[in-house]
Structure 1
Amino acid sequence: MRTLAVGDIHGGLRGLKDLEQCAQFGPEDRFIFLGDYVDGWSEAAQVIEYLIELSSTNTCIFIKGNHDVWCEKWLATGSVNEVWYNHGGKETMASYEGLSLEDKQRHLYFFEAMKLYHIDTDNRLFLHAGFTSMKGVEAELHTENFYFDRTLWEMALTLNPSINKDSLFYPNRLKHYKEIYIGHTPTINFGEDQPMHRGNVWNVDTGAAFTGPLSAIDIDTKTVFQSEPLKALYPDEMGRNKKK
């Protein structure tokens, strides 16, 4: 039985299906999706439909990303956040054209049920972006940090590899958890198209919204599975490349 942590999908259904073939998804597999299912490529609504179907056959945990927050508000109220619209929201709205009100309502329920974070029985933390409290996620006062914060990853990047978790110099923010899995900040920003590992933090967003592949990691064996780069799977689209 595998547990796969899956990075940011950003409307790339073809990448998700390619990842399914690469990793050979099976009925015993468990999935923890790290958020940002929509915005970027042209099949956001279809990605949500795929995930709803997958959750009917497999154990799935869906973490909420910042793009999901914006899309949820649009589905609930019809209001359009200008930042969202210009960073993939326009493509997401287009993907919903032709869907019935009933289908949109099902998708809204799906967004509303997403978790801001998940801690498993081995004290591994999964969330979209980060947190700032020195006492851990339970003490975080600003819940928007769970899907917006980048300081946790920035801090992890500066860690001296020779400092272990028991050291007085190891950041207290990271000591609360055995491992932390995040998305939100594409690893391609740092010249990497593979999930990056710093300290006890794993970043699984490999830039599928832009020029990178969609990635999943087996959290026990650390085996990485990847789709083809999304730009190759959507040759006639720009994704979010025009909005870097």
Structure 2
Amino acid sequence: MSKQNRTFVIGDIHGANKALIQVLKRAEVKPEETLIFLGDYVDGWSESPEVINTLIQLNNTHNCIFIKGNHDALFLEWQQTKKYNQNWLLHGGQATLDAYDKIDRTTLNIHLRFFENLDYYHIDKQNRLFVHAGFSNIHGVSNEYFPEMVYWDRSLWEMVLAMDKSLNEDDLLYPQRLRHYAEIFIGHTPTIRLNQTTPIQMDKVWNVDTGAAYKSPLTIMDVDTKEFWQSDNVNTLYPDEIGRN
């Protein structure tokens, strides 16, 4: 594949606009290339509105696909219902609310339209699935009984972590969920839970959430070559903040 036709996948950003700008520069992303964002654009660091501004601008110059994350859903729910969610506020939501308090109503409305139009998942021409968290239905992501599972599910990742690594698709015990796709790219569950700050592959599944919400880098990866680039540890970009707890 020629360099100008590269396709990239980007892990969970969590309000770290400085990290997002870094990885785009380090990967030398060109306007004609494809960017697939796995969600969780907000909650954590102080620049959630700036992240959305950057994504909207990128959509004008690149082929962008924006997947919905659970934090994006929580933020949109707050904006639509004002229903108090203490757990969300404690896990990065308060930083997002504080940041959006400084944003004018016109900009907020533009951002809300962005959140309203996020994709639940994306399947490309090579039958590669891009989804924020996972899915539970053995018949595939399009058959999920509860659509919210695609940005909340952790069972897919937990399954591949626990799998017998000698299994292949010809084995009766090979998970049916994995048979539907050539590869699956996810975020949601940071690799730092396994003491790693780089993408992790388990069978067909690539996890590219490398802990940008915490004290680790944001990652962008070429989905064909698996070459990846990372930002500085995000806490060093926001030295006066604590990020996610």
- Shared topology, TM-score over 0.5? yes
Q: Which amino acid aligns with 2:34?
A: R
Per mean C-alpha deviation after superposition, the further-off stretch among 154-163 and 4-13 is: 154-163
What is aligned with 1:9? 13
Counterpart of 1:211 in structure 2 is 215
| Residue of structure 2 equivalent to 1:111 | 115
Task: Report the CA distance between 1:35 and its aligned residue.
Answer: 0.5
CA distance in 1, matches of 2:124, 2:41: 22
Q: Does 1:82 find its partner at 2:90?
A: no
Match of 2:166 in 1: 162
Contact 2:32 2:61 survives alignment (8 Å):
no
Is the aligned partner of 1:42 residue 2:78?
Answer: no
Greater alpha carbon shift after TM alignment, 168-177 vs 6-15: 168-177
1-side partners of 2:223 and 2:230: how far apart?
15
Any residues of structure 2 matched to 1:94-133 within 5 Å, and which?
94-133=98-137
* Contact 2:165 2:203 survives alignment (8 Å): yes
Helix, strand or coil at the partner of 1:56: helix
CA–CA separation in structure 2 for the residues paired with 1:6 and 1:65: 12
The counterpart of 2:57, out of the listed 53, 57, 66, is 53
Q: Please, which of 173, 176, 191 is the counterpart of residue 177 of structure 2? A: 173
CA contact (8 A) 1:187 1:203 kept: yes
Among 183, 197, 200, the residue aligned to 2:201 = 197
Q: CA RMSD in A?
A: 1.0
How far apart are the structure 1 equivalents of 2:140 and 2:110?
Answer: 33
Select 1:183's aligned residue among 181, 187, 206.
187
Whole-Å Cα distance in 1 between the matches of residues 27 and 85 of structure 2?
35
Per-residue CA deviations over 1:96-126 (Å, capped at 9, x if unaligned) read: 1221111101000000000111111111111
Shift of 1:152: 0.3
Is contact 1:4-1:30 (8 Å) kept? yes
2:35 counterpart of 1:27: no
Q: Distance in 2 between matches of 1:220 and 1:127?
A: 17
* AA aligned opposite 1:35: G
- Runs of 4+ residues deviating >4 angstroms: none
CA distance in 2 between partners of 1:117 and 1:96 (Å): 26
Equivalent residue, structure 2, for 1:236: 240
1:21 Cα deviation from its structure 2 partner: 1.7
* Match of residue 224 from structure 2: 220
Q: What is the DSSP-based 3-state SS (H/G/I as helix, E as strand, rest coil) of the residue aligned with 1:217?
A: strand
User: Shift of the alpha carbon at 1:221?
Assistant: 0.7
- Cα displacement (A) at 1:75: 2.5
> What secondary structure sits across from 2:8 in the alignment?
strand
| In structure 1, C-alpha distance between the alignment counterparts of 2:227 and 2:218, rounded to whole Å | 14
Verify the 8 A CA contact 1:64 1:116 in the aligned structure 2: yes
The amino acid that maps onto 2:78 is W
Instruction: Give deviations 1:22-48, integer Å, cap 9, x for gaps.
Output: 111211210110010000000001100
SS at match of 1:144: helix
Shift of 1:215: 0.4
Please state how far the C-alpha of 1:50 moved relative to its aligned partner: 0.6
Is this contact kept in 2: 1:46–1:95, CA < 8 A? Answer: no
Name the TM-score, length of structure 1 as normaliser: 0.96
The alignment-based identity, stated in percent, is: 50
Distance in 2 (CA, whole Å) between partners of 1:95 and 1:166 is 51
Contact 1:76 1:108 in 2 (8 A): no
TM-score if structure 2 supplies the norm length? 0.96
